[in-house]
Structure formats: structure tokens, C-alpha cells
Amino acid sequence: MRPFTYERAADPQAAVKAAAEIPGARFIAGGTNLLDLMKLEIERPAHLIDVGRLPLAAIEDTPDGGLRIGAMATNSRVAADPRVRGRYPVLAQAIVSGASGQLRNKASTGGNLLQRTRCPYFYDTRKPCNKRQPGAGCAALEGINREHAILGASDACIAVHPSDMAVAMVALDAEVLTLSPSGDERRLPLSELHRLPGETPHIETQLAPGELITTVILPPPAAGAQTYRKVRDRASYATALSSIAVAGGRIAFGGLAPKPWRAATAEAALAAGAAPQEAMAAELEQARSAGHNTFKITLTARLGATVIAETQASAR
């Protein structure tokens, strides 16, 4: 690990101010992803601002029947919250299908959203990667890419976003609140937080330097049943090959794209009366294989059709 300096932020304002003023500064909350990458020298922050103990861990009802989840609330706490389990079961299911008990006890809500891809070529510093080194090329394009994206990828990057939690939150129409070094707060849909790679896969989100996620807001749950289902190589503690979150008429996929993938085409087809199978076919018209991941297209078509049909049936 490269040397760095460390401070514990006194309050959110001090944290974002330090992040803007100190070159090479990064926030650290749970640290489960950042420290892993720092040991490999993929992440090389000069300064860490510990935001883990900021008073941003509360989970609170909103007046309209939604829920505010503080960015420092751990994944375990969010999954165990009775309001999440009762009103947003898709979110509890998604969280407990990800990582391990130890990691969920440490990982924060904000950090989960901002975790980096598990692409093995991103992790292998001997291989070219446009995320690690813009312009270096992408070893995954010609490599073993069965875990890689079929939606939203580019010629520069085919890595997938690894989160389960974020997939459920996108299906729940979550919004993200942030604090900027200027002191400004902004609110944006979670579906717009992550960028598609295009020519700049190293720029992964819409956040400005020093901007801190403080809260995730869930609107009141939409009418209808909710389901999260994940397909992976092992029964537990593995990232998704394909996963789906359904919340009423809203659908999102994980393991398929550089960001949690809101299936707007499938949703529109279902709303227009299409059968689940037809809706999935419409969504996957834009899917592209990278070589070894053609199976994901078939897998997702079947997974999506099955889970959408089951969720519709259980809501009746």
C-alpha cells in the first residue's frame, strides 16, 4: 500500500471541504472495497477522509411514506430494518444476496453504490485497462469475458457494476442526496448516478470531485409485489452473472451492464400489454455478446420472463 495521511471528519461540511482542498483525497467509510484496491495499488489516495462515523447512519420514515437511508448505514442494518423488510423486501433480498456477513457489517450504503467493478482485468495491474489507465486499452475485450457486460458497454470497457443493493434501489426509483464542497446539496435519481463508459470508463459517476453521498431516499413503494433473484456461479458469496429486481411494474437488472440497468424498454412493453417473454425480448434487442458471455443473453431472457411472471402472479 502506498503511504497516505488520514483524518476523521468532524462533520459532513468539514469532510467535503477537506476533499476539495487536499490533492488526492478520498472518502473512506467501511473501506471494504477501497482498502482491497489500495493493497493492490489500483487505488492510490494520498489522503483518506474517514466519514464512517459521521451522523449519517439513520434510517427514517419520510412524511409521504417513503424511507430515508443515511449513506453511512451499513448494508446489514439496512437489510435488517423492519421497514425495509416489510415495505421494500426487494431491497433486503438484494442486500443479503451480496457479499458475506462480515462485509455487510462494514460496508456502507454510499460505499456500496460507489464500489468499483470486479472485472479481473481491472484487478490485474499487468493487463491494460482503460479504467485504471485511460487510453491503455481493454484486456477484457479479447480475454475471458463471460462475466462481462451485454448492455451499455463500449469498445473502451465492458466491465459490469457489481452491486446487488443498487439494482433493487433503482427498481424502487431511489434518489440520492449529495453534499458538495461549496455546501450545496443536490438530489438526483439513482438511475442517473452512474455513467455508461463510452470513451471515458474511468469516470464512473456524475459526482463532482469532493461531492459526498449523504442519503438515499426511497419513495413510497409502488403497488404490486417485489422480487429479487440472482443467478451466480456459487450458491453464496459470488457476484451476479445476472440478477433482476422487480418492484410493481418497475424492473432493473444486475450483472449485465456498467451500471444498475433499469429495463425501461421491458417496462414500457409490459405496460402496453406485452407478455413477460415479449418484454424481455424487446429489452434484450440491444444486448451484445463480448464473446464468452453470449449465455447471459439467453439466461437473462429466461430469468426475466420467469421472475416478471411470478411477481405479477403473486400480486394478484
The reply to whether 236 sits near other proteins by the rule CB under 8 A is: yes
The count of chain residues that interact with other proteins, using the rule CB under 8 A, is: 36
Identify whether the C-beta of residue 306 lies closer than 8 Å to the C-beta of residue 278. Answer: no
Pairing between strand 226-231 and 25-28? Answer: unpaired
**Smallest distance from other proteins to CB 291, Å:** 27
The reply to whether 176 sits near other proteins by the rule CB under 8 A is: no
Q: Report residue 58: phi and psi, to 5°.
A: -75, 150
| Closer residue to other proteins in complex, CB, 223/235 | 235
The reply to whether 31 sits near other proteins by the rule CB under 8 A is: yes
Near other proteins in 51-80, by CB under 8 A: 52, 76, 79-80
| Closer residue to other proteins in complex, CB, 94/284 | 94
Residues 94/100/101/104 CA torsion (nearest 10 deg): -60
**Smallest distance from other proteins to CB 272, Å:** 32
The reply to whether 23 sits near other proteins by the rule CB under 8 A is: no
Site map for other proteins, 101-120, x if CB under 8 A?
xxx-xx--------------
Beta-strand runs (E) in the chain: 5-8, 25-28, 47-50, 59-61, 67-70, 175-179, 185-189, 212-218, 226-231, 242-247, 250-254, 261-262
CA-to-CA distance for 146 and 289, rounded, in angstroms? 9
Q: Which residues contact 101 (CB under 8 A, 6 or more apart)?
A: 76
Name the one range near other proteins by CB under 8 A: 5-13, 111-119, 128-136, 183-191: 5-13
Identify whether the C-beta of residue 231 lies closer than 8 Å to the C-beta of residue 242. Answer: yes
CA-to-CA distance for 201 and 158, rounded, in angstroms? 9
The reply to whether 268 sits near other proteins by the rule CB under 8 A is: no
Binding site for other proteins (CB under 8 A): 1, 3-6, 8, 28, 31-32, 35-36, 39, 48, 50, 52, 76, 79-80, 82, 85-86, 89, 92-93, 96-97, 99-103, 105-106, 235-237
